[in-house]
Amino acid sequence: MSDPTTSSLPGSPAGPEPGHDAATANPEPELLDEAECLRLISPGGVGRLAYSGRFGPTVLPVNYMMYEGSVVFRTAHDSHTDEDLRTGIRGAEFKVAFEIDDIKPATREGWSVLIQGPAHYVESDTERASVLEAGVQPWAGGARELFLRITPTRITGRRVRRSG
């Protein structure tokens, strides 16, 4: 027996939303190749940095830009992110995930890109000058003078869109 409080809601398991037929109600995700993923994220914007921090799994939104094939973002010195991503071993880098998406809930369409790789502290003056060219500006107030760069070792993505 169906639950009358949920079966008549748009998008409920009982049937497709009004105006959608069964074939387009639940389209299969389309896997995106690396080139398409990079095209989608190239304008920069807001993504989510994910890593295993001292208090457990951590996911934080950050403003980012793509620069020379890497994701570049800024944070504050001595912030939780700074402290969590420092390995204490010179030259060692913390493995992170970075996710960017564009979701349209009204149409139930969108895409998502996942980047995995090491987070590298931008410490030399030469590299810092180079990364400044990316133009990443944090939305959050306060001094955000620590630059980090994620060098992708794996890029995957998927898109859901309706046909017709």
Residue 20 lies in a domain: no
Total number of domains constituting the chain: 1
Flag whether the pTM goes above 0.85: no
pLDDT tens per residue, the chain (164 residues)?
Answer: 444 444 344 444 444 555 555 445 677 889 999 999 999 999 999 999 999 988 899 999 999 999 989 999 988 777 788 788 876 666 667 899 999 999 999 989 999 999 999 998 888 788 877 777 777 676 666 666 788 899 999 999 999 988 75
Residue 30 and residue 80 in contact, taking contact as beta carbons nearer than 8 Å = no
pLDDT on residue 138: 67
Residue 142 lies in a domain: yes
Give me the sign of the Cα torsion angle 153, 114, 56, 86.
Answer: positive
pLDDT on residue 45: 92
In degrees and rounded to multiples of 5, residue 69 shows phi and psi of 80, 5
Residue 21 lies in a domain: no
Closest CA to 65 of 11, 122, 108, 25: 122
Residue 155 lies in a domain: yes
pLDDT on residue 81: 81
Give me the sign of the Cα torsion angle 51, 52, 53, 57.
Answer: positive
pLDDT on residue 142: 62
Residue 54 lies in a domain: yes
pLDDT on residue 123: 80
Q: What is the CATH number of the domain that holds 39?
A: 2.30.110.10
Residue 5 lies in a domain: no
Gap between the Cα atoms of 112 and 132, Å rounded: 27
pLDDT on residue 9: 41
Residue 8 lies in a domain: no
- 71 is written with which tokens? 């994701």
Residue 152 and residue 34 in contact, taking contact as beta carbons nearer than 8 Å = no
Residue 83's domain comprises 28-160
- The alpha carbon of residue 82 and the mean position of all alpha carbons in its chain are separated, in whole angstroms, by 18
Residue 9 lies in a domain: no
